[in-house]
Amino acid sequence: SYGDTQRYRLGINHHQIPVNAPRVPNPHSFHRDGAMRTDGNLGGNVNYEPNRFGDFAQDPNAAEPPLAAGAVDRYDHREDDDYYTQPGMLFKLFDAAQRERLFGNIARHIDGVPQDIIARQIEHFRRADPAYAEGVVAALAALQEGKKA
C-alpha cells in the first residue's frame, strides 16, 4: 500500500526521476507526456505503429494466447484495406464552404511538414476523392503564395 501511495504521489512517470530511472541507455516506451516527465518526452520520435520510419513493428508472435473459455483473440482490423471509401463519401457530403474550410485547415496544419510526407498525405486524399487532393494542393499553393507577398 505504501509503494502504491508513493507512485501515485510521484505520478505516471515516476520511473523517469533520475533516482528511479533504469540504467539502460535508451529504454523504449510508448508513453508520452504527463506529470514528472524528465527525459525530453522522446523528442520527435514516433510512438505508434505502423509508421514509415520503421521504429516499431508489430510482432505476431507476441499475441495473447487464446483464453481457456473459448477461442478468444483480438480482431485484426487490417484485414480490410479499404481505408478510402468512407472518407470519400464524407467528403462528397460536404458543401462548398465546408470543403474550403477543410482544405484551409489541412493546408495550415501540414505547412512546414517535410515534402515527402506531404506528398504521401496528398496521395491518401486522392484515393478518397481526387477533388479532395486537388483542393488541399490548391490551398497549400495559396498559403505559400500568401507567404511570399
pLDDT one-digit tens code per residue, 72-129: 566 676 777 889 999 999 999 999 999 999 999 999 999 999 999 999 999 999 999 9
Q: Is the dihedral of CA 79, 84, 87, 89 positive or negative?
A: negative
**pLDDT for res 74:** 64
Q: Which domains does the chain have, with CATH numbers?
A: 82-148 (1.20.1370.60)
Give the residue, 19 or 35, on which the prediction is more confident.
Answer: 19
Cα(47)–Cα(57) distance, integer angstroms: 11
Distances, alpha carbon 98 to alpha carbons 38, 66, 109, in Å: 42, 46, 17
Using the structure block, give the residue that is written with the C-alpha cell 510482432: 59
pLDDT at 119: 97
Rg (CA), the chain: 22
Per-residue model confidence (pLDDT) at position 28: 67
pTM over the 0.85 mark: no
Can you give the pLDDT at residue 104? 97
Q: Which residue has the higher pLDDT, 72 or 34?
A: 34
Pick the more confident residue, 96 or 30. Answer: 96
Residue whose C-alpha cell is 495473447: 64
Residue scoring higher pLDDT (140 or 30) = 140
